Every structure is written in structure tokens, then in C-alpha cells.
Amino acid sequence: MDHQSQVNQQEKPQDPDQNEENLTEKEIEDMIIDELEDDEHDDNFNPLKTYQEIYDPEELHAAQEATDHQSLPIVNNDLTKHDPDVLVVGAGPVGLWTAVQIKLLLPDLNILIVDKHQTYVRSHLLRITKSSLKEIPSDKLLDAFRKFAQKLTGKIRTNDLERALWTEAEKLGIKKEIMEFKEISKVKELFPNVKIILGCDGSHSAIRKQVFDNKLSVKETIEHVAFVKYDAAGKADIIRPMESYAGLKLINHLVYEATGRQVEGQSPVTLQIKIDADTYKKMEDCKFKTPYHLHKDKSKLEPKLLETITVWLNMRAKFNHEKRIQGTEKITTVNLDVYRADIVGKFLTAENVAVFLCGDSAFGVPFFRALNNGMLCGSALAGFIKAYYTKMNDGIKKYNKYFDKLAKFEISRAKKIAWAHQVAENAIRLQAKVPWQFITLNKYKKELQQPLQNS
């Protein structure tokens, strides 16, 4: 059966964007807010603090230290044996997520996923929100997939998510190979019949560079964060709210704590500290692969940040009776960026192929939204591809329009969260200057400022 017949014989697809023309910008924003409603009612979801939960305390360095590598399934070593209709570049969660839905909606399409990496190495925790499933097309062909996707929500390790999605892809006959994307012309030489190419190849997307001239309409750093990670003996808890609030008045930064479960008598603790651009610049070599060690690299720490770390660790020792495992303290810095491609869909007439960007190749925001946005875009894109498979230029327009509205909303949302953090930090500093206060730790100030011991 050819693809045109397949589309005609399946139930008539609904236009995923059919009512959009009559919606105002305010109505569209309200619609997206409604889609996030489930998350706002999640007891574990705090939009003012999610920036501090980018990495789970137990998995802060897992992207570099993961030992649970899994080889990607390779079907053939000879790429010429494949004749894909759809080529997905990037075998991560978003690429797999999108490929599976396209295959379910258009089962006769041959789909090949390629990735330049031989193994999955990421095992850090992700958080998939319920609202990220709401763009899954309303098609009976996706009923079983929708139930499967529900089981993925909540916290999940990256490699577990990739395995689960690959299992579904494999059942559907989707193939996977190791290949690095170079040039679109070389791809057409290998796969002359390919009609659609999806760029799901991350924030440094080769497809965005090759096909979309790497044009970004937004690229901005909205916040900088320093992470202090260490292990504590026994069970670790966060400081009580009143003491935490009072402690913030003694320091120069906004601090949030996170603790992990106890394993073999020790618990991981992470302090997540909002820092300014100057502090980040002074410590820009303090990365996950090259962390600072609290005592050995003390001279490299910006003085006010060192003071904040000192006060907070002393508070944890005094009020929580915490015993740090000496030598486990590591410090890293991260800049939180927002960016977006100018457009995410293009038809290349000379090559007779439609090219799309999805996931981090299309846009990125912090605060645990990157993967979730990739899933939203992937589901929407799958719906557009089915609805407009024989009129791909119309599908490209629809996808670009959908992406533009989602990206604007999510980038605006991220900036508002960063702004809220700044407001909170300024408010605490202002309150610290008020002469008459009931909630302070002033009587402990000298004690809490004592240099940390390295025993």
C-alpha cells in the first residue's frame, strides 16, 4: 500500500491546529497554562524552586560518572541496506519519542534513527510532567502508546527512559544505526528516497547548523547557579524553614537545599546557590568535569560565595547536627540559558526533503522544562506529519507556528521564574537591613562565620 492510500484509508485525521486561527494570544497563553494545571497541583512541583532541581542530589555528576553504559542496538553495519522514508538524527529520548508516534500514525513508513554515539552514557534523573503528554495526537492508533506514556511520568533516569522508548520502537520495526550527520547532500546519496529528516540531535545540533544556518532568534543567559555537593553521615534533612529564612539574612545569596536517600550510612546533600555573572565568570572553569574541592581549592572561590557556603554548612552542623564526610565536598557552576531557533521546519526543494528541528536542537529552557518541551514538540510534529503528509509545506507552516507560540511562552515563563528568584533575593537582603526584627540568627553570627574545619 502506498503512503497516499494509507492516509486515505485511515480515519480522517483531525487538524491539530484547526481552531488556532481564531484564538487570541491571551487565549493561547491560557490554553497552555491549562495544560500545565496538573503540574501546579503536584506537591513536588514548586515553580519558584525548580531551577534548583535541574540535577537530583544523587545524580549531580551522573552525566560524567555513569557506569551503566548500554550499547545502542545496531541492525546492520551497512547503511545502504536501509531505505528510510523518515530519518531521525538523534537517538535520545526526544528522537525516540517522536519516531514511535510517527510510526504508529503512519505504519507503512520506514523509519531509521541514527546517532553518532555507540553507547548511552547519561543516567541522571529527569522529571516528566503529565502536561507533556497532552500533545499526543487524538488518534485511536495512539491509545496504547498514551497509556504507556502515562507510566513514564514522574522521575525517571535518562537511560531507563531511552531503553523503554527503544523497546517500543523496536516492536514497531524502527531501525537504528550509528552515523554522524555531516551534510544533507551526503544523506540523500545514502538514502535517496528519504522524504523527512528530523533533527533531534541536541543543543549543538548539526542539522540546525547545516540546514538552518544555526540561526537563533533568542540566546540569553538568565541565571547562574553554584552547586555544592557532599555526603553526610546518616540521614540528611533540610534546615527548618524559620532557621533557613533567618540564615539567608546572614549571607549574600539565595540558597536552596536538597537531600537524597540514605545509602550505606551516608546521604547526599546539595546546596544550590544563586550567583551573579561576575562570580560565575571568576569561576568559569568550575564545571562538572572539573569541580572545585572545598578545602583544596578554597583560594579559587569568590570570597562572598565562600562566606555563604561557610555559614550554611555551619548552620547545618549546628541545627541539624550534621556530620559531613570530609573530602566529599565538590563545587560546580552552571549558567542557565534560554535559546530558540528562528524556524524549525523547512522544505529543501533541491533535495525534495522536509527538515524539522525538535527537542534541544529547536530550543532550550532551564527549570526542568527542556525534555518536557521536546516531548510536546515531538507529539505535535507527529500529528502534523500525519495530517499533512501529502502537503508537507502546510505541515511545515503549522509546526513553525506551533513552535513559535510554545517557545515564546516557555522562554517568558523561564524569565519570570528567574525574575522571581531575583525578587526573593532582594527582599531577603532588604529585610536583613531592617534594624528591628524578630527572626534572626544574629546571636550565632560569629559562630556561623567560623572557618570550616578540614579534619
Within a domain: residue 448? no
pLDDT band at residue 76 under the 50/70/90 scheme: low
CA nearest neighbour of 354 among 392, 320, 390: 392
Local structure of residue 407 (DSSP, 8 states): H
Which of 282, 308, 336 is a domain's end point?
336
Which of 307, 336, 365 is a domain's end point?
336
Within a domain: residue 436? no
Within a domain: residue 270? yes
Q: What is the pLDDT of residues 183-235, one digit of tens each?
A: 888 899 999 999 999 999 999 999 999 999 999 999 999 999 999 999 999 99
Residue 256's domain spans which residues? 221-336
Q: State the Cα–Cα distance between residues 175 and 114, nearest whole angstrom.
A: 9
pLDDT band at residue 428 under the 50/70/90 scheme: confident
pTM: 0.79
Do 113 and 249 lie in one domain? The reply is no
C-alpha cell recorded at residue 33: 497554562
Q: What is the mean pLDDT of the chain?
A: 83
Strands (E), 298-384: 330-341, 345-348, 353-357, 363-364
| Residues sharing a CB contact under 8 Å with residue 235, sequence separation 6 or more, in sequence order | 262, 267
CA nearest neighbour of 370 among 158, 226, 57: 158
Do 270 and 142 lie in one domain? The reply is no
With 0-12 CB in 10 A as exposed, 13-18 as middle and 19+ as buried, what is 204? Answer: exposed
Residue 157 bridge partners (DSSP)? 125
C-alpha cell recorded at residue 51: 531551577
Within a domain: residue 264? yes
Do 225 and 180 lie in one domain? The reply is no
Chain-centroid distance of CA 294 in Å reads: 28
pLDDT at 17: 41
Within a domain: residue 430? no
Do 283 and 332 lie in one domain? The reply is yes
The number of folded domains in the chain is 2
Do 251 and 226 lie in one domain? The reply is yes
Place of cell 503512519: 106
Residue type, position 247, single letter:
G
Do 389 and 247 lie in one domain? The reply is no
Within a domain: residue 435? no
Q: Which of 2-16, 164-178, 336-350 has the lowest mean pLDDT?
A: 2-16
pLDDT at 453: 79
Residue type, position 287, single letter:
K
CA nearest neighbour of 35 among 406, 357, 368: 406
Do 102 and 191 lie in one domain? The reply is yes
Place of cell 570530609: 326
CATH code of the domain in which 267 resides: 3.30.70
DSSP H/E element including 425: helix 392-433
pLDDT at 445: 92
Q: Where are the alpha helices (DSSP H) in 109-223?
A: 143-150, 158-171, 184-190, 206-211
Do 146 and 245 lie in one domain? The reply is no
Tell me: pLDDT of 75 over 70: no
pLDDT at 73: 56
| Residues sharing a CB contact under 8 Å with residue 372, sequence separation 6 or more, in sequence order | 127, 128, 129, 131, 132
Do 162 and 59 lie in one domain? The reply is yes
Do 155 and 225 lie in one domain? The reply is no
Chain-centroid distance of CA 25 in Å reads: 26
Which of 304, 336, 368 is a domain's end point?
336
Q: First vs last Cα of the chain: how many Å apart?
A: 74
Do 93 and 119 lie in one domain? The reply is yes
The backbone torsions φ and ψ at residue 216, rounded to the nearest 5 degrees and listed phi first, read -110, 130
Place of cell 549543538: 204
SS3 43: coil
CA nearest neighbour of 255 among 238, 231, 267: 238
Whether 258 and 239 have beta carbons less than 8 Å apart is answered as no
CA nearest neighbour of 171 among 82, 78, 100, 110: 100
| Average pLDDT, integer, range 262-271 | 89
Q: What is the pLDDT of residues 374-396, one digit of tens each?
A: 999 999 999 999 999 999 999 99
Within a domain: residue 433? no
Q: What is the pLDDT of residues 296-324, one digit of tens each?
A: 999 999 999 999 999 999 999 999 999 99
Q: State the Cα–Cα distance between residues 81 and 76, nearest whole angstrom.
A: 8
* DSSP codes of every residue in 217-273: EEEEEEEEEEEEEEEEES---PPPHHHHHHHHTTSSS-EEEEE---BTTEEEEEEEE
Do 173 and 229 lie in one domain? The reply is no
| Average pLDDT, integer, range 391-403 | 97
Q: What are the Cα distances from residue 152, in Å, to 51, 241, 275, 331, 349? A: 21, 32, 34, 31, 39
CATH code of the domain in which 374 resides: 3.50.50.60
Q: Which of 94-108, 287-301, 386-400 has the lowest mean pLDDT?
A: 287-301
The backbone torsions φ and ψ at residue 135, rounded to the nearest 5 degrees and listed phi first, read -95, 0
pLDDT at 401: 97
Residue 274 bridge partners (DSSP)? 225
Local structure of residue 296 (DSSP, 8 states): T
Within a domain: residue 361? yes
Q: What is the pLDDT of residues 14-62, one digit of tens each?
A: 443 444 344 444 444 444 333 333 333 444 444 334 333 333 333 333 4
